[in-house]
Amino acid sequence: MKVSVKVPATSANLGPGFDSIGLALPIYNTITIEETVLPGTGIEINLMSEDDALDEISFENIPRDENNIVYKAVEMLYNSIGQEPSELKINIQSQIPITRGLGSSAAVIVGGLIAANKLLGSPADETALLSIATEVEGHPDNVAPAILGGFVMASQEDDGSIVYRKLNWPDEWDITVCIPDFELSTSIARSVLPAQVPMADAIFNAKHMAMLIHAIDTKDEKLMRVALQDKLHQPYREKLIPGMREIMEAFKHEDGVLGCVLSGAGPAMLVISHKYDIDKIKSTVKNIWEGQSIKAEIKTFKIEENGAEIIEG
């Protein structure tokens, strides 16, 4: 039996919502898992890309054995029902750029889990799959929208349980994803964050997170322009991303632009807008990055309301 699952890219944080919110975007990875019939064949993991930008260099450091995160997630699911994985062939068809802050790891983890769950007869429900995915990924902000689609708030509680809710994103708000041609690993992006932050900064983010949720729920554009500010992660990561400050400053006072934030840990950036000249967004970002000798792929989307989907099996 063979199962294929299509999973959307995701963008986490949106400014003040560090490690707690994320949304799905219409860029996809497809994960196919097949139980091989020949005993002793072991694990076969194949990585493929439809995009020239995701070349072999991006895949060089991805394990093709039991250390691969897809296999780790699958193994945890099997073990949760008292089984060991059989001989498996895992194909990963990638459209989501790697190490850009667009949830590429969350997508393959979620895809692998859902495919394996189907192979096993669907013993795990949505909550169980989200719990395993969070354990592998480390936090639920990307895996939750990858599973559910849309805009999702999620928290891993002290007992390990995941509390999550999906909130309607305003259809009128466009998201322009700006993807530079350099990578930034999550581990490096996290290494620059302080272990402790000033109480004033924590309070600042708590206030703006509350504003952000209310702005999205009520489609309040004026509030949204205020809400997307952050003091917990973006100021520290700025030094890792050339042009980041200039891009944010360029849109700060533009009518129709609701805000500009890092996508996850970066280096990709999101510009959220309503009735604004999309070509102007693209030219502004390209001009700033070209001044830093950085090329970029820039696309404008509506949010992906559908999460991971079984397309074969």
Q: List pLDDT tens digits, range 156-173.
A: 999 989 999 999 999 999
Q: Rg of the Cα trace of the chain?
A: 19
Q: Are residues 7 and 106 in the same domain?
A: yes
pLDDT tens digit sequence for 28-83? 999 999 987 666 667 888 888 766 544 444 566 677 778 889 999 999 999 999 99
Q: Are residues 135 and 214 in the same domain?
A: no
Q: Are residues 142 and 203 in the same domain?
A: no
pLDDT tens digit sequence for 78-103? 999 999 887 899 999 999 999 999 99
Between the alpha carbon of residue 96 and those of residues 13, 28, 219, 237, 269, the distances in Å are 18, 6, 29, 22, 14
Tokens of 82: 């008292």
Q: Are residues 31 and 153 in the same domain?
A: yes
Rounded to whole angstroms, the Cα distance separating 212 from 205 reads 10
Question: The domain that contains 193 carries what CATH number?
Answer: 3.30.70.890
Q: Are residues 28 and 131 in the same domain?
A: yes
Q: Are residues 35 and 139 in the same domain?
A: yes
Q: Is the pTM of this model over 0.85?
A: yes
Q: Are residues 72 and 87 in the same domain?
A: yes
Q: Are residues 199 and 145 in the same domain?
A: no
Average pLDDT value for the chain? 92
Question: Where in the chain does DSSP place strands (E)?
Answer: 2-13, 17-35, 44-49, 88-94, 151-156, 162-167, 174-180, 257-262, 269-273, 296-301, 309-312
Rounded to whole angstroms, the Cα distance separating 47 from 27 reads 17
Show the domain range for 69: 2-168+303-312
Between the alpha carbon of residue 299 and those of residues 81, 244, 261, 270, 279, the distances in Å are 42, 17, 15, 10, 10
- Count of the separate structural domains present in the chain: 2
